[in-house]
Structure 1
Amino acid sequence: MADNADIAAELMERRMEAALSSRLSLRIPNHDPDCEDCGNEIPKPRRDALPWATTCVECQSLRERRGRHVR
């Protein structure tokens, strides 16, 4: 018999999987490969891993350190 923690963990996992699959469906075929902060090209491995990424790794790290990672 599952306890409340197990049920909550399973529910969270299902919601995370649903959120990730919906984000993957947002792939934009003609997405601008340039970082919106610095203008440099976002590396292809990053674009492949995160098709919705609008910043390069360096700029995203700066945003997160500054606490402005929310657009």
Structure 2
Amino acid sequence: MVDLVDMAEEFRDFQLQQNINARAQFETESNLDCDDCGEEIPEQRRALKGVTRCITCQTKFEAQQKHFRG
């Protein structure tokens, strides 16, 4: 007989794996310069793939997005 706790854990693991598989995959090259301010994006940040803003501008952008969401 299957234990309900085991079923719940299996379902949770399945959902976690689905979320991991569904996350955004950034395969495009990062910009050398920030789209917003034009400053050079550090090499370590560019290694993340798909980066278009420097840390300062990305932080501001995310704060604005959070503000708009409520």
TM-score interval, smaller chain: 0.5 to 0.7
TM (norm. structure 1) is 0.64
> 2:25 aligns to what?
23
TM (norm. structure 2) is 0.65
- Gapped regions of structure 1 (runs ≥ 5): none
**Per the alignment, in what secondary structure is the counterpart of residue 41 of structure 2?**
coil
Identity over aligned residues, as a percent?
Answer: 27
- Gapped regions of structure 2 (runs ≥ 5): none
Q: CA deviation at 1:62?
A: 0.3
Q: CA RMSD in A?
A: 2.3
Distance 2:44 2:62 in 1: 20
> 1:10 aligns to what?
13
Structure 1 outlier segments of 4+, above 6 Å: none
Distance 2:49 2:15 in 1: 23
> 2:63 aligns to what?
65
